[in-house]
Chains A and B, each alone.
Chain A
Amino acid sequence: MPYPTRTLFVSALALAGLLIATRAGAQVVSLSGSVSPDTTVQFGSSTNKLLTWTVRTNTQPGSAVTSAQGQFRVTPAGAVLGTVGVPLSGTVNQAGDVLLLENLTVPSSIIQQAQQLGSSSFVYQRTFTDPTFATGTTQVTFSIQLPSLSVSGSTLGPAAASVTNIATASFAWRVESTLAGQAVRSTQGAFLLPNGQPLGTAGALLSGTTSPAPLSFSETLTVPQSIAIRAQRAGATQVIFRRQFELTNLGVIASDDIPLPLTSGIGGQFAIHRIQLRFEDGNSQRVLRRGQPLTAFADVRFSGTGVLQAQWQVALPSSTAGEPVFQPLLTLREPLIGGREVTLRLPDLPTHAPGLHLIRLRLIDPDGELTIPLLRYFVADGDAAAGMPRMALQLLEPQHLSRLSNDTYFRWHPVPGASVYQLEFYLLESAPAEPRAGPPLLNAGLLGSGQLPIQRLTGVMIPPGQEATVLSILARSHLRSGRPHLWRLLALDATGKVIAESPLREILVP
């Protein structure tokens, strides 16, 4: 190109550039955008929207208006969340307007980003340019619609809050969300008065992930007595247990209340609240001689009504030096009625083998969450014969519940090795029986154990070789007319040790 021509060309370009630069600073007359069918987008899913952009310019009809790309922003001047690279262009009509349609897909990631920035809405923005390089920017605003969450709670079986003891309640929770795959959780529940005043908290973390099917949770927890008392003192008839569930990081929460009526121990769920294993002296450990009688007790506090299923078990010395192996001693199927405390008794614990024994009460139903400490006893060595059950002394007459008369003979089978027989009489103190006392326990092992309200009144010592006697006047004088008495016969050796004993029998003294 010759120099003058080149100079003219450059000058023209410069002029054009100047013109463009001048027009580029100009604005189109007006811009607007609309969205069909609405401006809401669902969190968690991509959404298709039909956008209509209207651009009014001063350019000639037939000229083109273009937009290179669209941008998602938190606010019109805020951070860019993403871009859509699809260009738009349209032709100016006779009125100077351009109508552009855009089929926009709003990615779920954009919605999530906006929500994570704490915003409940975001904008989609486009900049349009006409042939005169006039520009204008407009946007549409999208509202983020978060997923719904609903919770419904119910009790599993009867449930109540007791003012007289701890209560147990089981709850089922059903959680539904419109959005699957979201983490949902409830850190703990709360006890409230019906007016919303808090009483306390309870329960552990419940968590899961939403799915098209409802989520189910269940829990069993204790209702402290103090909670029920505070509700009663506040005049309420019930305690509310509330669980609030949350879609993690979305701030979407929902809760439900389960009312628990106040009661005083009888109503509500059948549950074991406390078990204390002990020996007769209240201790949980004993050291004893071989053959020494031993009884275990379990004090059980419960609420409601039901059948206790449990099993007394023992680990014998043959396993306690290694891995304890528990064997059944007694299986219990005990109806427990009306929320109170009962004492279960396990007589005749094995004491014939020397060594460490462990006793436990295994709860089968209700199983609960109790960890019951073991009873332990150590049988020291000694006379092997002591490990054998004491020999039974067989009575011949009089029979149980006989009436004492002039010719009442006490007869028995002789016991080898006996140096003396001792006929003993006890006064059976009258006392109101327990409702479930059952048949009388005529067990000689109960003598001296405090299990029977009795005291020894009198007796007769009889030389060996004699197998029958009548009651002497002297011994008879100590008996109480009209009162029930128990009697038994012992065989003792020369050291005074009991080598055989009869069962207890009752005799009527006129």
Chain B
Amino acid sequence: MKSAYFLPTTTLIGLLLLGPLSVRANPDWGLELQPPHAGYYSPSGEFQFEIPSSVPAQALARLALELDQIDVTAFVSSDGRNAVFTPPHPLEPGMHQLRVVEYAEDGSILERGIWEIEVRQSAAFREAGFNSNLGVTGRKPVGKRNLPDLETNWRLQGGVSLGGTLADADAQAAGTLELMNQEESEGGKLDLAGFHAQVLHAQGQADLGHHSLPLNNLLVQSFGRRGVSGAWRSADGRQALFGFAMRTEPITGFHHGLGVSDPGHRISGAWWQVTPLADPQRLALRVVYLSGEGDEGGDATIGGLHEASGDGAALVADSMLWNSRLRVRGEYATSRFDFDGTGGTLEGLRDRAFGLLTMLTSAPERTNGMTWNAGVELKEVGTYFHSLANPNLPSDRRLIRAFGTARWPSFSMSAIVGRETTNVDDLENIPRYCTDQLSWNGVYVPTLVRETPWYGQPQFSAWVGTTNIAQETNPAGPGFPEVDQLTRSYQLRAGFGYDWGGWSVDHTLSRFDDHSGLQADTETNSTTLATQIRIGERLSLGVSLARSAIEDRDTAMETENFTGTLDASAQLLPNRLNTYIRLSVNEDRATRGLQNARTATLSADLDWTMMQEQAGKPGLTASLSAVYNDLDDKLAMAASPSTYQIFLGLRLGWSVNR
């Protein structure tokens, strides 16, 4: 490396000034970024800066360079007239920002140059990449016991993921496709596991396939399905319009195409968002509308799926005020929902929901070693408010809660206290429940002096939570006992980290008291001891021991589960011989001899790499795998014989990344 006129990071201690740092533009001089020799910046290329002759030597010693806000000054060399930044590894194709600053003597930062650069893979495209990852495994049983139905033929399993990217200055297209062999359930056909294609333009975006909607509100929450969506953004970035049509239910496979052809299983909608003020953080408004039909439920729903339909609209306002210390978020939504679907006897029921969140964070200048935030949240969801794109939202709830977090060096804690009531629509013929919640958690990490002690880097945490449910009204009459339940939970955890891994132990106690006498009072105790050990580069071990017990305190009946697992991965011969072993033991017991069963399973794989997969060339691996399973159920009428199955296999792996 040439003599470093750029100031090494380690010499900056004296210049480090805490508190607000000002950045000033100084027009008197600046560095010039030289154009790339090839006509474009390549991922492995260097960046050369021309330093004007008028720059004083003292100023050169105070220069620093950052790439995408990462300080890379240590990788800049200079001969006094030119400076060269040599990235320590290839840069990702795409837009990057380079910025040269000078540390002024008064502690401020003077910007001496800033550039938006495009790293391209070729002159034709900024990025043109393709990657595939193929795996095909053929296995043949060569040994078995007590498995009469196990076929002895070769069985093929496989999967492939394909991905591609094509990008240039103002447009980008990317796609992924995953295919899986479904032999064991569907006759061995290759089927579609998932796909997603995305096209980006300066002001537009389109998505096809499996993707999630970038919305989190009362109508749409974590909603990811197969479908299509599109977006348009105004040139100034202050307005955006989105539209989507997605399958109501999760689907896989080639059937259903894009997932939007069946109106009986489709959710469609649009939203418009605008930031009306100059500072977009001060106010962001969003209006959402959606309508859909489909199966209300999921993959596994008691009583089967049933058709439902509905629509809804929402208005969301989000604002950061007071130097971003105060956040205020309000939301109002309405829905109309046919709970028994089209053609049912129930008409579409309308209801509404709203939420208000305010949160304040501590003032930067008054921290004194402690920072905090606190807030209040109010949320009410009507009895019949429902959205197919947010099926997990509990309806008929009015929540008001306060929360706060405080942090000191080595210690942090947070607490929540809240009350939730039901029957928010004041219906005379359904009861009202009141749920009081309180939780607190704290984390303590002792400050260590320099070296890690023998017991490692400890971390301790505790959590306490109580929930009390009481019934306030009972319109069905005194013949029905009123709900009166109290749940208290406590958790303690200790973890210890080393450079070779770590270990942890935790215990959770949970007590449930039903004062109405309808349900049994229970006490649950769970203890887990886990460790992860890495020995050198070739051996990894993981051990976990867990015991949990539930005691019915009314009957003194206890059920107990013990699980122990050992995982081992080892490269016996680097890049040649690998093994994976998993041993697990599961025991279930109950008092009075009502349950007593133990299952032990040992699975092992031994892989011999005949041809190492590398640089786009396929690899071939021979494998020997075996599973031994033993079930000892002392209450079973007939003994369950232990089984094993042994397979010989050949595996083809082929990854291409261009």
Contacts and interface: CB of A to CB of B under 8 A. Distances in A.
Given A264-B430, A372-B299, A396-B451, A458 B73 contact: no
B403 interface: yes
A476 B16 contact: yes
A16 interface: no
B324 to A, nearest CB: 8
A396 B396 CA distance: 51
A384 B410 contact: no
Given A284-B299, A287-B160, A305-B485, A472 B178 contact: no
Contacts of B301: 166, 273-274, 370
A199 B419 CA distance: 35
A368 B339 CA distance: 23
Nearest to B192: A285
B467 A337 contact: yes
Given A229-B346, A307-B510, A275 B299 contact: yes
Contacts of A299: 298, 392
A266 B469 contact: yes
Nearest to A397: B450
Interface stretch (B269-277, B623-631, B632-640): B623-631
A460 B70 contact: yes
Contact of B459 (A372, A400, A480): A400
Nearest to A497: B89
B250 A287 contact: no
B416 interface: yes
Nearest to A456: B69
B39 interface: no
B563 A328 contact: yes
Interface in A381-402: 381-385, 387-389, 391-397, 399-402
B467 A338 contact: yes
Interface string B196-232: 0000000000000011100000000000110000000
Contacts of A285: 178, 180, 193-194, 252
B416 to A, nearest CB: 5
B384 to A, nearest CB: 7
B384 A229 contact: yes
A284 B133 contact: no
Contacts of A327: 565, 582, 584, 586, 601, 603
Contacts of B165: none
Interface stretch (B18-26, B48-56, B282-290): B18-26
A337 B487 contact: yes
Contacts of A466: 10, 74
Given A285-B194, A335-B489, A380 B510 contact: no
A267 B571 contact: no
A274 B109 contact: no
B231 to A, nearest CB: 19
A8 interface: no
Interface string B521-558: 01010100000101001101000001010100000000
Contacts of B342: none
A264 B381 CA distance: 12
B505 interface: no
Contacts of B476: 237-238, 259, 261-262
Contact of B90 (A481, A496, A510): A496
Contact of A477 (B21, B429, B655): B21
B464 to A, nearest CB: 10
A282 to B, nearest CB: 3
Contact of B395 (A164, A237, A328, A457): A164
Of B16, B101, B252, B359, most buried by chain A (CB within 10 Å of CB) is B16
A335 B487 contact: yes
B653 interface: yes
A439 B443 contact: yes
Interface stretch (A116-124, A218-226, A243-251): A218-226
A309 B9 contact: no
A435 interface: yes
Given A322-B144, A396-B452, A382 B653 contact: yes
A474 B111 CA distance: 11
A492 interface: yes
Contacts of A370: 300-302
Most buried by B among A166, A378, A460: A378
Contacts of B469: 266, 305, 337-338
Most chain-A Cβ atoms within 10 A of its Cβ — which of B439, B480, B481, B584? B480
A318 B625 contact: yes
Nearest to A280: B224
B589 interface: no
A430 B373 contact: yes
A472 B179 contact: no
Contact of A354 (B72, B101, B135, B394): B135
A437 B422 CA distance: 23
Contact of B575 (A259, A384, A478): A384
Contacts of B16: 406, 470-473, 476
A31 B160 CA distance: 100
B32 interface: no
B344 A226 contact: yes
A96 interface: no
B122 interface: no
Contacts of A419: 88-89
Contacts of B493: 439
B396 A510 contact: no
Contacts of B643: 323, 325
B159 interface: yes
Nearest to A285: B193
B183 to A, nearest CB: 9
Nearest to A503: B497
A322 B210 contact: no
B161 interface: yes
Interface string A100-115: 0000000000000000
Contacts of A400: 410, 443, 445, 459
Contacts of B596: none
Contacts of A261: 431, 474-476, 480
B302 A222 contact: yes
Interface in B114-162: 133-135, 137, 139, 141, 144, 147, 149-151, 155, 157-161
A187 interface: no
B340 interface: yes
> Which of B69, B70, B363, B487 has most chain A Cβ within 10 Å?
B70
Nearest to A384: B578
Contact of B383 (A163, A236, A355): A163
Nearest to A199: B345
Contacts of A265: 394, 396, 422
A261 B479 CA distance: 10
A272 interface: yes
A350 interface: yes
Interface string A394-429: 111101111111110000010000011010100000
A276 B297 CA distance: 9
Interface string A256-296: 00010111111100111111111001111111110000000
B499 A413 contact: yes
Interface in B419-439: 420, 422-423, 427, 429-431, 433, 435, 437, 439
**B18, B522, B605 pick with most chain A CB within 10 angstroms:** B18
Contacts of B252: 283-285
B367 A380 contact: no
A125 B382 CA distance: 75
A418 to B, nearest CB: 10
The 5 A-B residue pairs with the shortest CB-CB distance, nearest first, are A381-B653, A482-B364, A380-B135, A378-B159, A282-B224
22 contacts: A236-B429, A265-B396, A274-B301, A275-B300, A309-B559, A316-B605, A317-B625, A324-B184, A335-B512, A354-B607, A355-B137, A378-B180, A381-B619, A396-B451, A400-B459, A402-B447, A433-B414, A435-B401, A435-B437, A461-B67, A463-B75, A482-B325
Given A394-B498, A432-B357, 5 more contacts: A259-B476, A287-B133, A321-B155, A404-B18, A466-B74
